[in-house]
C-alpha cells in the first residue's frame, strides 16, 4: 500500500517535472533514466517485501 | 526476399506449435500434473496484457509522444502493488462463487442481477471490439508490410476493399476458428483452460524475446549503444523535443489519466480477469506475480524508445508508419530472419490477446446475455431440454465468431483513422467504467444494484458519445459536423468538448466526464435506496471474503425439497451427463460418503449444484435453473415460530444457567462463612478449654500450696493453721462452684439441662435474691431499691434458674459499684407480651466494645478501675442461656463512668386466661 502511494508520487506531476529538461546521463535524457530507475526500484522493493513475507 | 507462402507457412507452423503446447498442457492437466501451476507461468499468462499494441503500437506512440507511451505500463505496476488487497479478494470471491467472467462478478455482487450482467456484457463487447480491431489491423498491417517491403512503406489509405479480398477478414476468421478450437472444446464448470494458459505463456515468451532481439539489433547493430543512439537523436531538433516530457508528449493531465486508465484496465479488461482470476490455480502465485509481472513490463519497454528513435532517424520523416518500425528496421538491415521473428512476435502478441479476449467475451455473452434470454423464452421450452451442454457450446462458438466479426467491422469502418494505441485507449476507457461498480462492490457494502446500474449506464453512454461515435465520425461514417459543431449543431454537446470543456485530450476528457457521472450516480443512487436482502447478503460475502475463510454456503433457513437425481440431471444438462456424474462422485467423496445414492438433497448440495451450473451459465441464470427443480418452500409461519421458539428456549436455558450459577455462588459464599464460623468456634472451644483449665488450676494451686505448708509445718500456730484451712476450704468451694457452672453451661448448651418450670411470681424471686445478697450490699454500703408494681402476671419458668439469673446480675452490679454513694435499682415492668426486669447501677459502666463480649464465656471486664475480676466469667453466659431458653432477651445498656443497666425480659404466657385455666 505504501509502495502504491510512493509510486503514485514518483510517477506524477510535480515530481516528474523536476526531471524534465535537457540534462543527460550517459547521453540518455534524464526523464528517461529517472522513470526507468524509479520503476526498477519500485519493482525491487515489491519483490523484497513479498519474498520476505513468504519466508 | 520473403514470399507470401513462406509467411503463411511460418504463421501456420507457429499456430501449430501453439496447438501442440495447448494439447500437451491439457493432457498434463487431465493427468493431474499441471504444467501451469507455478507463479512463473501465471505471470507470463498475465502478460497477455501486452498485445500488438505494445509490440507495434508503443513504438508508434513513442515516435509521436516520446516518453508518453510509458503510463500504460506504469499504471499496472502501481496496481500490482495493490493486488494484495484487490486481486486476492477477486480471486477468493470468484473461487467461492464459481465466477467465470467480470459480468458474472458484478451481477453476482449486486444480488445476482440479470440486468446488470447483461449491461456489463454489452459494455464489454462494445468496448473491446475496437481493441480486437486493433489486433486485426496489426496482423494485417504486419503481413502486408513484410510481404511488400520495400514497395509499400507508406500506409495505403484505405480503399475499403470488398471484404472477400481483404486479408484482414481471413485473419479474423482464422483467429475465430483457432479460438473455438482452443477455448470451447468442452464445457467445464470452472471454465479453466490449462492448455490455453500454457500456450499464452509461451506466446508471452516469444513476444518478449522477439521484441528484445529487435531492440538489441537496433541499439547495438544499427547504432553504437544507448548513448550513441540518444546523442544522435539529440542532434535532430524534433527528436530532441520528443525526449522531454511536457514537450511533445502532451501535458501531465494526459499522463495521469493514462496511468489511471491502465491501472483499471489491468484488473478490469475481460482477458485480464480471465487469466488473473479465472485461470488462477493457486492464490499464492499472486505473490510472485506482484513483482514479476511489472518486471516483464519493464523488460519489454526498455527498447521501445531506442527503436522509435532509430526508426525515425533511419527513415526519412513520413515515409514509414512508425507503428511498423519493429518490422521495417530489421528488413531495412536485410535481417530477414530477425524480421520474421519480429513478425512471429507480433503475431503471438495479437493472437494471444484475441484468443483470451474472445473466450472471455463469449463466456460473458453466453452466460450473462444469451442464456438468460433463452431461458426466459418459454416458447423454446429450453428448461425441458435434456442436454443443454451442446447448445451452450454452440452459443459460445457463435459468440466468438460474432465478436471477431464485430472487430473486423470496426476495423473496416474506423480502423484506418487511428494509430494502434489510440484505438486501444478507447477500449481502456470503456472497461474503466466497470471500476466504480467493481471496486465499490469489493470494499463498500452500501453499493446497490440500482446504483451500479445507473452509474454503469451513465458512464457507458458518455463513453459512447465522447469516444466511440467520434471515432466513427473521424472515419467519415458519421458526418464530421457531429464533431465540430456538436449534436444537432448545439455547441455544448460537442462530443469531445462537453459543456464547453476544453484543454483536455479526448481520453482525459472522456475519463473525467464518464467517471464523474459513473461514480456520482453509483454512490448517490446507492445511498438513496437501502440494499435489498439479496444485495446485502452478497455484499457481506464479497466485502468480507478475506474474513470468512470457508464461507458458509447454505443457510439453515433454507427449506426445500428436491431429489438428488433431479439435481444430477439438471447439472448434466449444462455440463454433460458424464461430467455431472464425476462432479457428484467428487462431491460425495468430499462429504465422506461412498456412493452418490446415499447423498441427501440438502441445502449444501443444492448450493454446490448451483455453483457448478454457475460456472457454465452464470450465477444469475444458475439460481433460476436450480429453482426450477428445487421446490423452494417459503418458510411457513409454524416453522418461523419453531425457529423463534428454539431461540427463546435457548435464551431461557441460558437464563437458567445464569440463575444456577448465581445460586452456586451464593452457596459457595455461605459455605465459606460457615467454614469461617466453624474455625471461629473451634478457636473458641480451644480458648474455652484453656480458660477452664487455667481457672481450675488457680484454686488447685492455692489448695495444694496451703496443704503443703500445713503438712510441712506441724508446729504452725493454731490461728495461722485455722486461717490456712479457711483458705483451702474457700478455694475448694470456689473450685466446686466453677466446676458446677461449667457443667451447668455445658448442660444448657447441649440441651441436656433439666428444667422444672412452674408458675412464677417474679417479685418474690427478686425479693429472695435481694435478701440473699443484702449482707453483701450492706457491707459495701450500696443502696438497693426496688420498684415493682403489684399484681404482676405470673410467668412460667424454672424458679431456681431465674433466681440464679437475678442473683448473678445483682452480684455483678455490686461488684461494679465502688463509689461511696453507690446505688442499685431494680425495676420490674409489664410490657405487652413480656415482663421486663432492669437492674441499674451507677458504677463504672462498661465500654461499648466490652458490651458486645461480656456475654461470652470467660469474658470479663477487666480494667484498671475494676481491678482483678471477681467472677468466674461464666455467670452472664449462663444467664443469657437461661433467659433465651424461655424466649426472653438479656442485654446491657451502659455509659462508662455513669453506670450500667442489665435488663432481661420473660415472655408472658400467650393468654393469661388460658394459663389460669390450665
CATH code for the domain in which residue B791 is found: 3.30.565.10
Q: CB of B416 within 8 A of CB of B475?
A: yes
Query: Per-residue pLDDT averaged across B475-504, rounded?
Result: 65
Q: CB of B748 within 8 A of CB of B857?
A: no
Query: Per-residue pLDDT averaged across B806-814, rounded?
Result: 84
Give the C-alpha distances (Å, rounded to integers) separating B635 from B558, B607, B650. Answer: 8, 18, 21
Selected residue of A15, A39, A54 to mutate for chain B interface (largest B Cβ count, 10 A)? A39
- B309 CB neighbours in chain A (<8 A) are none
Q: Which helix (H) or strand (E) holds B398?
A: helix B389-414
Q: How confident is the model at residue B59 (pLDDT cuts 50, 70, 90)?
A: confident
Query: Per-residue pLDDT averaged across B424-443, rounded?
Result: 86
A50 interface with B at CB cutoff 8 Å: yes
Domain count, chain B: 5
Task: Provide the CB-side half-sphere exposure for B355 (13 A, CA).
Answer: 32
Whether B426 and B470 map to the same domain: the answer is no
Whether B445 and B530 map to the same domain: the answer is yes
Q: CB of B75 within 8 A of CB of B301?
A: no
Task: Kindly report which listed range (B31-40, B412-421, B471-480, B655-664) carries the lowest average pLDDT score.
Answer: B412-421
The three cell numbers of residue B371 are: 442464456
Provide the Cα torsion A17, A20, A23, A29; round to 10°. 130
A30 interface with B at CB cutoff 8 Å: no
The three cell numbers of residue B200 are: 499464452
Which of B617, B632, B647 terminates a domain? The answer is: B632
Cβ separation B81–A3 shorter than 8 A: yes
A52 interface with B at CB cutoff 8 Å: no
User: What Rg do the C-alpha atoms of chain A give, in angstroms?
Assistant: 14
Cβ separation A32–B298 shorter than 8 A: no
- A26 CB neighbours in chain B (<8 A) are 226-227
**A44–chain B nearest CA distance, Å:** 7
Task: Provide the CB-side half-sphere exposure for B366 (13 A, CA).
Answer: 30
pLDDT score recorded for residue B668: 92
**A45–chain B nearest CA distance, Å:** 9
Query: Per-residue pLDDT averaged across B273-295, rounded?
Result: 84
pLDDT score recorded for residue B864: 41
Q: Which helix (H) or strand (E) holds B81?
A: helix B71-82
Task: Kindly report which listed range (B296-310, B443-457, B647-661, B833-847) carries the lowest average pLDDT score.
Answer: B647-661
Helix (H, G, I), strand (E, B) or coil at A29: strand
Q: Which CATH number belongs to the domain containing residue B30 in this structure? A: 1.20.1730.10
Query: Per-residue pLDDT averaged across B497-521, rounded?
Result: 79
pLDDT score recorded for residue B551: 39
Cβ separation A1–B305 shorter than 8 A: no
Omega before B150 within 30 of 0, i.e. cis: yes
**Facing residue for A46 by CB, picked from B244, B291, B302:** B291
Give the C-alpha distances (Å, rounded to integers) separating B270 from B71, B276, B359, B883. Answer: 20, 10, 9, 102
Cβ separation A8–B78 shorter than 8 A: yes
- A31 CB neighbours in chain B (<8 A) are 67, 243-245
Query: Per-residue pLDDT averaged across B187-213, rounded?
Result: 81
**B419–chain A nearest CA distance, Å:** 23
Whether B777 and B805 map to the same domain: the answer is yes
Give the C-alpha distances (Å, rounded to integers) separating A1 from A7, B80, B276, B544. Answer: 10, 10, 20, 19
Whether B379 and B244 map to the same domain: the answer is yes
Q: What are phi and psi of B319, to 5 degrees?
A: -90, -25
Whether B193 and B45 map to the same domain: the answer is yes
Closest CA to B454 of B524, B521, B527: B521
Cβ separation A32–B305 shorter than 8 A: yes
**A24–chain B nearest CA distance, Å:** 9
Q: CB of B357 within 8 A of CB of B128?
A: yes
Q: CB of B574 within 8 A of CB of B388?
A: yes
**Facing residue for B227 by CB, picked from A27, A36, A44:** A27
Selected residue of A3, A43, A49, A51 to mutate for chain B interface (largest B Cβ count, 10 A)? A43
Strand pairing partners for B196? none
Cβ separation A50–B291 shorter than 8 A: yes
pLDDT at B156 over 60: no
Task: Say how far apart CA B428 and CA B433 lie, in whole Å.
Answer: 9
The three cell numbers of residue B137 are: 489491423
pLDDT score recorded for residue B720: 85
The three cell numbers of residue B695 are: 481457672
Cβ separation A22–B244 shorter than 8 A: yes
- B292 CB neighbours in chain A (<8 A) are 47
Task: Say how far apart CA B317 and CA B240 lie, in whole Å.
Answer: 15
Task: Say how far apart CA B18 and CA B674 lie, in whole Å.
Answer: 90
**Facing residue for A32 by CB, picked from B80, B243, B298:** B243
Provide the Cα torsion B673, B679, B685, B688; round to 10°. -90
**Facing residue for A39 by CB, picked from B77, B230, B234:** B77
pLDDT at B523 over 60: yes
Whether B497 and B423 map to the same domain: the answer is no
pLDDT score recorded for residue B658: 87
Query: Per-residue pLDDT averaged across B875-892, rounded?
Result: 85
Task: Provide the CB-side half-sphere exposure for B341 (13 A, CA).
Answer: 18
- Convert the pLDDT of each residue in B840-882 to its tens digit: 888 888 877 777 777 776 666 554 444 445 566 778 888 888 8
Q: Which residue of B has its CA nearest to A14?
A: B252
Cβ separation A29–B294 shorter than 8 A: no
Task: Kindly report which listed range (B147-156, B443-452, B846-855) carries the lowest average pLDDT score.
Answer: B147-156
- A50 CB neighbours in chain B (<8 A) are 287-288, 290-291
| Structural domain harbouring B452 | 433-551
Task: Say how far apart CA B69 and CA B80 lie, in whole Å.
Answer: 19
The three cell numbers of residue B350 are: 495479437
Percent of chain B having pLDDT more than 90?
2
Which of B409, B432, B455 terminates a domain? The answer is: B432
The three cell numbers of residue B295 are: 518486471
Query: Per-residue pLDDT averaged across B200-222, rounded?
Result: 88
- Top mean pLDDT of B86-100, B413-427, B668-682, B839-853 is at B668-682
A26 interface with B at CB cutoff 8 Å: yes
Closest CA to B823 of B839, B800, B842: B842
- Convert the pLDDT of each residue in A1-55 to its tens digit: 566 677 666 666 556 655 555 566 665 677 777 778 888 888 888 888 877 776 6
- A13 CB neighbours in chain B (<8 A) are 252, 255-256
pLDDT at B241 over 70: no
pLDDT at B814 over 60: yes
- A20 CB neighbours in chain B (<8 A) are 244-247
pLDDT at B279 over 70: yes
Whether B774 and B881 map to the same domain: the answer is yes
Q: Which residue of B has its CA nearest to A21?
A: B244
- B259 CB neighbours in chain A (<8 A) are 11-12
Whether B146 and B267 map to the same domain: the answer is yes
Q: pLDDT: is B723 or B485 the higher one?
A: B723
Task: Kindly report which listed range (B410-419, B620-629, B638-647, B689-698) carries the lowest average pLDDT score.
Answer: B638-647
**A29–chain B nearest CA distance, Å:** 7
Whether B656 and B734 map to the same domain: the answer is yes
Interface of B with A (CB under 8 A): 67, 70-71, 74, 77-82, 85, 226-228, 230-231, 234, 243-247, 252, 255-256, 259, 287-288, 290-292, 294-295, 298, 302, 305
Selected residue of B89, B245, B249, B303 to mutate for chain A interface (largest A Cβ count, 10 A)? B245
pLDDT at B736 over 80: yes
pLDDT score recorded for residue B639: 58
**Facing residue for B78 by CB, picked from A4, A16, A27:** A4
- A32 CB neighbours in chain B (<8 A) are 67, 230, 243, 305
pLDDT score recorded for residue B872: 62
Cβ separation B234–A24 shorter than 8 A: yes
Q: pLDDT: is B488 or B726 the higher one?
A: B726
pLDDT at B705 over 50: yes
Whether B713 and B600 map to the same domain: the answer is no
| Structural domain harbouring A33 | 2-54
- Convert the pLDDT of each residue in B340-370 to its tens digit: 888 888 888 888 888 888 888 888 888 888 8
Task: Say how far apart CA B401 and CA B393 lie, in whole Å.
Answer: 13
**Facing residue for B227 by CB, picked from A26, A46, A47:** A26
For B520-562, the DSSP string reads HHHHHHHHHS---HHHHHHHHHHHTTTT-TT---S-TT--EE-
Query: Per-residue pLDDT averaged across B578-592, rounded?
Result: 79
pLDDT at B220 over 50: yes
Query: Per-residue pLDDT averaged across B830-848, rounded?
Result: 83
**Facing residue for A29 by CB, picked from B70, B228, B230:** B230
Q: Which residue of A has its CA nearest to B295?
A: A43
User: How many CB pairs (< 8 A) connect A and B?
Assistant: 94
Task: Say how far apart CA B794 and CA B759 lie, in whole Å.
Answer: 6
Taking the alpha carbons at both ends of chain A, their separation in whole angstroms is 20
Which of B723, B749, B775 terminates a domain? The answer is: B749
A36 interface with B at CB cutoff 8 Å: yes
Cβ separation B226–A27 shorter than 8 A: yes
- B305 CB neighbours in chain A (<8 A) are 32
Q: Which residue of B has its CA nearest to A46?
A: B291
Q: Which helix (H) or strand (E) holds B163?
A: none
- DSSP for residue A24: E
Cβ separation A28–B78 shorter than 8 A: no
pLDDT score recorded for residue B189: 47
Whether B704 and B604 map to the same domain: the answer is no
pLDDT score recorded for residue B867: 45
Q: Which residue of A has its CA nearest to B224?
A: A27
Percent of chain B having pLDDT more than 70?
81
Domain count, chain A: 1
For A1-55, the DSSP string reads -HHHHHHHHHTSTTHHHHT-SS-EETTEEHHHHHHHHHHHHHHHHHHHHHHHHH-
Task: Kindly report which listed range (A36-40, B529-533, B553-557, B642-646) carries the lowest average pLDDT score.
Answer: B553-557
- Convert the pLDDT of each residue in B649-704 to its tens digit: 777 778 888 888 989 999 999 999 999 989 988 887 887 788 778 778 888 888 88
Q: How many CB atoms lie within 10 A of CB B831?
A: 10
Cβ separation A12–B255 shorter than 8 A: yes
pLDDT score recorded for residue B673: 92
Averaged pLDDT of chain B: 78
**Facing residue for A47 by CB, picked from B71, B243, B291:** B291
pLDDT score recorded for residue B161: 47
**Facing residue for A50 by CB, picked from B226, B255, B287:** B287
Whether B439 and B421 map to the same domain: the answer is no
> What is the interface pTM, i.e. ipTM, of the complex?
0.86
Amino acid at each position: 500500500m505504501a509502495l502504491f502511494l510512493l509510486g503514485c508520487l514518483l510517477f506524477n506531476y510535480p515530481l516528474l517535472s523536476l526531471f524534465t529538461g535537457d540534462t543527460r546521463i550517459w547521453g540518455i535524457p534524464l526523464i528517461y533514466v529517472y522513470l526507468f530507475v524509479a520503476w526498477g526500484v519500485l519493482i525491487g522493493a515489491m519483490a523484497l517485501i513479498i519474498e520476505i513475507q513468504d519466508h | 526476399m520473403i514470399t507470401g507462402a513462406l509467411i503463411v507457412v511460418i504463421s501456420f507452423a507457429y499456430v501449430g506449435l501453439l496447438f501442440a503446447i495447448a494439447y500437451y498442457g491439457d493432457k498434463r492437466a487431465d493427468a493431474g500434473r499441471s504444467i501451469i501451476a507455478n507463479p512463473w507461468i501465471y505471470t507470463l499468462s498475465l502478460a497477455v496484457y501486452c498485445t500488438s499494441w505494445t509490440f507495434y503500437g508503443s513504438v508508434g506512440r513513442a515516435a509521436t509522444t516520446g516518453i508518453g507511451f510509458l503510463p500504460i505500463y506504469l499504471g499496472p505496476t502501481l496496481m500490482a502493488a495493490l493486488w494484495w488487497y484487490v486481486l486476492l479478494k477477486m480471486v477468493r470471491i470468484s473461487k467461492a462463487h464459481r465466477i467465470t467472467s467480470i459480468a458474472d462478478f458484478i451481477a453476482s455482487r449486486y444480488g445476482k442481477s440479470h440486468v446488470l450482467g447483461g449491461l456489463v456484457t454489452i459494455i464489454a463487447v462494445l468496448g473491446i471490439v475496437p481493441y480486437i480491431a486493433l489486433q486485426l489491423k496489426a496482423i494485417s498491417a504486419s503481413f502486408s508490410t513484410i510481404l511488400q517491403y520495400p514497395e509499400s512503406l507508406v500506409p495505403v489509405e484505405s480503399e475499403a476493399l470488398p471484404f472477400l479480398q481483404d486479408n484482414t477478414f481471413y485473419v479474423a476468421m482464422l483467429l475465430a476458428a483457432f479460438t473455438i478450437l482452443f477455448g470451447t472444446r468442452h464445457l467445464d464448470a470452472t471454465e479453466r483452460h490449462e492448455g490455453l494458459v500454457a500456450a499464452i505463456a509461451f506466446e508471452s515468451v516469444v513476444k518478449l524475446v522477439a521484441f528484445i532481439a529487435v531492440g538489441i539489433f537496433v541499439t547495438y547493430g544499427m547504432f553504437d549503444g544507448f548513448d550513441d543512439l540518444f546523442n544522435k537523436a539529440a542532434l535532430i531538433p524534433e527528436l530532441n523535443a520528443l525526449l522531454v516530457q511536457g514537450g511533445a508528449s502532451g501535458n501531465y493531465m494526459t499522463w495521469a489519466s493514462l496511468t489511471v486508465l491502465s491501472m483499471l484496465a489491468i484488473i478490469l479488461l475481460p482477458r485480464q480477469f480471465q487469466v488473473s482470476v479465472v485461470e488462477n490455480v493457486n492464490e499464492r502465485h499472486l505473490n510472485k506475480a506482484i513483482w514479476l509481472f511489472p518486471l516483464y513490463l519493464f523488460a519489454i519497454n526498455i527498447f521501445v524508445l531506442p527503436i522509435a528513435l532509430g526508426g525515425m532517424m533511419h527513415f526519412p520523416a513520413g515515409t514509414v508508419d512508425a507503428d511498423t518500425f519493429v518490422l521495417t528496421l530489421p528488413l531495412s538491415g536485410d535481417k530477414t530472419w530477425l524480421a520474421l521473428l519480429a513478425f512471429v512476435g507480433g503475431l503471438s502478441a495479437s493472437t494471444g490477446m484475441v484468443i483470451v479476449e474472445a473466450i472471455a467475451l463469449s463466456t460473458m455473452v453466453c452466460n450473462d446475455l444469451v442464456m438468460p434470454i433463452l431461458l426466459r423464452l418459454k416458447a423454446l421450452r429450453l428448461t425441458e431440454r435434456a442436454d443443454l451442454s451442446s447448445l451452450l457450446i454452440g452459443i459460445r462458438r457463435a459468440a466468438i465468431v460474432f465478436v471477431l466479426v464485430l472487430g473486423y467491422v470496426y476495423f473496416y469502418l474506423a480502423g484506418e483513422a487511428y494509430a494502434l494505441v489510440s484505438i486501444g485507449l478507447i477500449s481502456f476507457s470503456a472497461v474503466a467504467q466497470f471500476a466504480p461498480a467493481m471496486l465499490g462492490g469489493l470494499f463498500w457494502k452500501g453499493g446497490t444494484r440500482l446504483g451500479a446500474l445507473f452509474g454503469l449506464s451513465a458512464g457507458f453512454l458518455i463513453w459512447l458519445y465522447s469516444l466511440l461515435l467520434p471515432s466513427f465520425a473521424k472515419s467519415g461514417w458519421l458526418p464530421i459536423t457531429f464533431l465540430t459543431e456538436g449534436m444537432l449543431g448545439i455547441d455544448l454537446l460537442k462530443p469531445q468538448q462537453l459543456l464547453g470543456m476544453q484543454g483536455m485530450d479526448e481520453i482525459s476528457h472522456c475519463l473525467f466526464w464518464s467517471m464523474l457521472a459513473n461514480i456520482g450516480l453509483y454512490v448517490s443512487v446507492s445511498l438513496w435506496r437501502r440494499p435489498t436482502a439479496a444485495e446485502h447478503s452478497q455484499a457481506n460475502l464479497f466485502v468480507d471474503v478475506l474474513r470468512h475463510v470457508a464461507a458458509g454456503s447454505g443457510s439453515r433457513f433454507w427449506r426445500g425439497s428436491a431429489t438428488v437425481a433431479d439435481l444430477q440431471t439438471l447439472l448434466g444438462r449444462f455440463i454433460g451427463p458424464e461430467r455431472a456424474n464425476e462432479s457428484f462422485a467428487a462431491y460425495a467423496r468430499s462429504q465422506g460418503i461412498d456412493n452418490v445414492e446415499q447423498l441427501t438433497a440438502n441445502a449444501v448440495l443444492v448450493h454446490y449444484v448451483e455453483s457448478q451450473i454457475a460456472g457454465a451459465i452464470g450465477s444469475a441464470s444458475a439460481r433460476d435453473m436450480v429453482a426450477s427443480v428445487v421446490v423452494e418452500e417459503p418458510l411457513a409461519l409454524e416453522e418461523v415460530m419453531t425457529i423463534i421458539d428454539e431461540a427463546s428456549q435457548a435464551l431461557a436455558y441460558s437464563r437458567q444457567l445464569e440463575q444456577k450459577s448465581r445460586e452456586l455462588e451464593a452457596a459457595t459464599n455461605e459455605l465459606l462463612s460457615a467454614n469461617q464460623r466453624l474455625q471461629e468456634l473451634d478457636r473458641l472451644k480451644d480458648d474455652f478449654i484453656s480458660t477452664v483449665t487455667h481457672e481450675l488450676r488457680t484454686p488447685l494451686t492455692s489448695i495444694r500450696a496451703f496443704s503443703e505448708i500445713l503438712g510441712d509445718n506441724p508446729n504452725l500456730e493454731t490461728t495461722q493453721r485455722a486461717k490456712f484451712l479457711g483458705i483451702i476450704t474457700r478455694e475448694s468451694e470456689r473450685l466446686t462452684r466453677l466446676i458446677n457452672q461449667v457443667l451447668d453451661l455445658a448442660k444448657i448448651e447441649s440441651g441436656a439441662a433439666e428444667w422444672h418450670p412452674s408458675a412464677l411470681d417474679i417479685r418474690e424471686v427478686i425479693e429472695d435474691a435481694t435478701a440473699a445478697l443484702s449482707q453483701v450490699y450492706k457491707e459495701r454500703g450500696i443502696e438497693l431499691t426496688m420498684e415493682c408494681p403489684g399484681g404482676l402476671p405470673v410467668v412460667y419458668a424454672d424458679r431456681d434458674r431465674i433466681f440464679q439469673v437475678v442473683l448473678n446480675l445483682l452480684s455483678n452490679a455490686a461488684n461494679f459499684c465502688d463509689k461511696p454513694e453507690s446505688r442499685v435499682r431494680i425495676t420490674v415492668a409489664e410490657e405487652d407480651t413480656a415482663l421486663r426486669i432492669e437492674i441499674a447501677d451507677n458504677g463504672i459502666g462498661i465500654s461499648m466494645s466490652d458490651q458486645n463480649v461480656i456475654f461470652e464465656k470467660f469474658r470479663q471486664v477487666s480494667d484498671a478501675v475494676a481491678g482483678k475480676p471477681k467472677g468466674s466469667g461464666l455467670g452472664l453466659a449462663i444467664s443469657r442461656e437461661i433467659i433465651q431458653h424461655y424466649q426472653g432477651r438479656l442485654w446491657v445498656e451502659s455509659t462508662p463512668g455513669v453506670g450500667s443497666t442489665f435488663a432481661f425480659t420473660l415472655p408472658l404466657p400467650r393468654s393469661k386466661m388460658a394459663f389460669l385455666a390450665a
